[in-house]
Amino acid sequence: MPLGRLRVAAWTSALAVLLVAVCVAGAAMGIIDIPPRFVVASVLHAVGVSTGVSVPDPYPFVVTFLRMPRVALGAVVGAGLASAGAVMQGFFRNPMADPAIIGVSSGAAAGAVLVIAAGVALPLSLPLAAFCGALIAAFGVYTIATEGGRTPVATLLLAGVAVQTFLGAVVSLLLVRTDDHSLREAIVWLMGSLRNTMWSEVAVAFPVVLVGLVVLFAYARDLNVLLLSEEDAHALGIEVERTKRVLLAVSAVVTAACVAFVGIIGFVGLVVPHVMRLLVGPDHRILLPTSALAGGVFLVAVDTATRLGATSLPVGVATAFVGAPFFLYLLRKREVHEL
């Protein structure tokens, strides 16, 4: 096996095992501590696999309907945000880039807060509004930055900052004009949370994120070439503008599918891919799958820790508490550099 494929297999296998272990631990720990063997048996029984293990009540219900949906959505969201962050950092050739840079998070926030302020209570109205708001913002940024069939990266970055600022003002205005109940609901959503997750949410988010990640992985080689320069990429036969459109569109859809159900969760798309780049290098053929797995590990672990704490913090707040000091540490150690 070539050395490159061996590294991919080694890193992905190790992180996949770690992700499974963290998910089992997340489903095992709580007010009722459940032995890991009963967690595994409950999950296997739920999918129709007989293990011969008799699981006492109420373990199957707690694992299958209360904890595993939350753990599964955390893994999906962490993987999606980290992968999209790795793509954005490579796309912009900037370690400070993350999925929010193209307006996805601010667009989702505007859509969600608008629905909350309007008092709309239809099924899936909140995640649908957040998803649509995220995509409208992202494609609006792309449209503003595109001229003559070309989308300069610097213009795209500036357009993203402008749209984020504008939508931030819209969200602030909506919050000011809402009643106390709607204001609390909006703030909880903006802080990001995996509470009260249901399997129906996992069933919607998982296929969108999975298909998006497969497409992004397929463009890993092209993204490697874009790290050099657009001129070099064009000389090597890469359809630069088409590749940029695909990367932006898929990253936006993946991020929108993640934040639509859990709210704004920061630093996953910034810190995780940057740390993995330090560990495995800049080759996106290795970086993207490892970032996806590490993102799932990180978010599930942080959410489990917050759930077990004396004060149950929203996971979006906890990731900021963990991510921001760690990123400052990297800055002080001079481990943050240009790509």
Angle, to 10 degrees, between the axis of helix 199-218 and the axis of helix 68-92?
30
**Both structure tokens of 123:** 């099924």
Long-range contact set of residues 14-17: C-beta below 8 Å, sequence gap at least 24: 15/290, 15/293, 15/294, 15/297, 16/293
Cβ pair 217, 247 in contact under 8 A: no
C-alpha to C-alpha distance for 153 and 12, rounded to whole angstroms: 31
Query: Which top CATH class is 72-333?
Result: mainly alpha
Sign of CA dihedral 98, 104, 110, 116: negative
Cis link prior to 58 (omega < 30° from 0)? yes
pLDDT tens, per residue, the chain with 339 residues: 565 677 778 889 999 999 999 999 999 998 889 999 999 999 999 888 888 888 898 999 999 999 999 999 999 999 999 999 999 999 888 877 888 888 999 999 999 999 998 888 777 899 999 999 999 999 999 999 998 888 888 899 899 999 999 999 999 999 998 888 888 889 989 999 998 899 999 999 999 999 999 999 999 999 999 888 788 888 878 888 899 999 999 999 999 999 999 999 988 999 999 889 888 988 999 999 999 999 999 999 999 999 887 567 889 999 988 888 887 877 776 555 555
User: How confident is the model at residue 235, as a pLDDT?
Assistant: 84
Residues of the chain by 3-state class (helix, strand, coil), percent to 5: 75, 0, 25
DSSP string, 194-217: -TT--HHHHHHHHHHHHHHHHHHH
β-partners of residue 127 are none
Domain parsing of the chain, residue ranges: 72-333
Instruction: Please indicate, yes or no, whether the overall pTM of this predicted structure exceeds 0.75.
Output: yes
User: How confident is the model at residue 199, as a pLDDT?
Assistant: 95
Angle, to 10 degrees, between the axis of helix 268-280 and the axis of helix 315-332?
40
C-alpha to C-alpha distance for 261 and 245, rounded to whole angstroms: 25
C-alpha distances in Å from residue 299, one per residue of 81, 220, 236: 10, 24, 38
Cβ pair 175, 106 in contact under 8 A: no
β-partners of residue 147 are 150
User: How confident is the model at residue 182, as a pLDDT?
Assistant: 86
C-alpha to C-alpha distance for 226 and 233, rounded to whole angstroms: 6
Contacts of 117 (CB under 8 A, 6+ apart): 174, 175, 177, 178, 182, 186
